Structure 1
């Protein structure tokens, strides 16, 4: 991957619907050269998919929280994945260093539905307790995938 590929990817991150000709004008390539590079980036798995980002509020998901999960004993990441995969309000999760075992990003319609989702997580085997922080306002939101 070279600087031209990085430029193409940056432009596609800004607008996945950008035309090859428009991208080519920005990076100094023909539309067909951009298409060949995009096809190669897709084939190589660098570009995984093309998508849109929709405001979660459109789907009624107005409440957002970050939740630390604390487990009893040692719990394998696969077990945490199994627990969290069954909770649709979980939109992102990862194991972490520090006192918590995992951090989970959740979205729900409202506080009662968030509380119900948290209860499902709290009652899962191996989960000792959680600590939650509800998002009041979003300051920065960058897509990384």
Structure 2
């Protein structure tokens, strides 16, 4: 089954409202899409069953918790390193937030969140000690912006 099969405009409107605020009530969503709460609840349940909605999350301001720096580190590995090993090389590092394996150079892009420049240095040193890592390049994040879906 195609993932978008059976997902109509009302479903997409419901999804947009949930993306904006995952704690939005079914009643509020129903009012905004001009439906009663029961069919909206059924649609949300169906979207969950289909795997369109895979979970709900909380957005945290990590700077208020001491993680004041974010950086992206490009990783290069030896030529015989498989993709699973690239991911496994960094997932044990708690400061690693995301790993993007890529085709081409670099082999992976890793997003890390740390409390200081010294902390970042320690994390990069830890990653570099991982077996097949042959090179890194780190870029500090100065600011962020995200497009609303």
Match of 1:31 in 2: 37
Q: What are the within-5 Å matches in structure 2 for residues 48-63 of structure 1?
A: 48-63=54-69
8 Å contact 2:26–2:41 — kept in the other structure?
yes
TM-score, normalization by structure 1: 0.92
TM-score (norm 2): 0.90
Cα drift, residue 101 of structure 1: 0.6
**Secondary structure at 1:64 match in 2:** strand
- The question of whether the paired residues in 1 share the 8 Å contact of 2:128 and 2:134 is answered with yes
Aligned to 2:146: 141
Aligned residue number for residue 113 of structure 1: 119
Aligned length: 143
After the TM superposition, list the runs of 4 or more consecutive aligned residues in structure 1 that deviate by more than 6 angstroms: none
RMSD: 1.4
Query: How far apart are 1:137 and its partner, in Å?
Result: 1.9
| Consecutive unaligned residues in structure 2, runs of 5 or more | 1-6
- 2:80 is aligned with 1:68: no
Unaligned runs of 5+ residues in structure 1 are: none
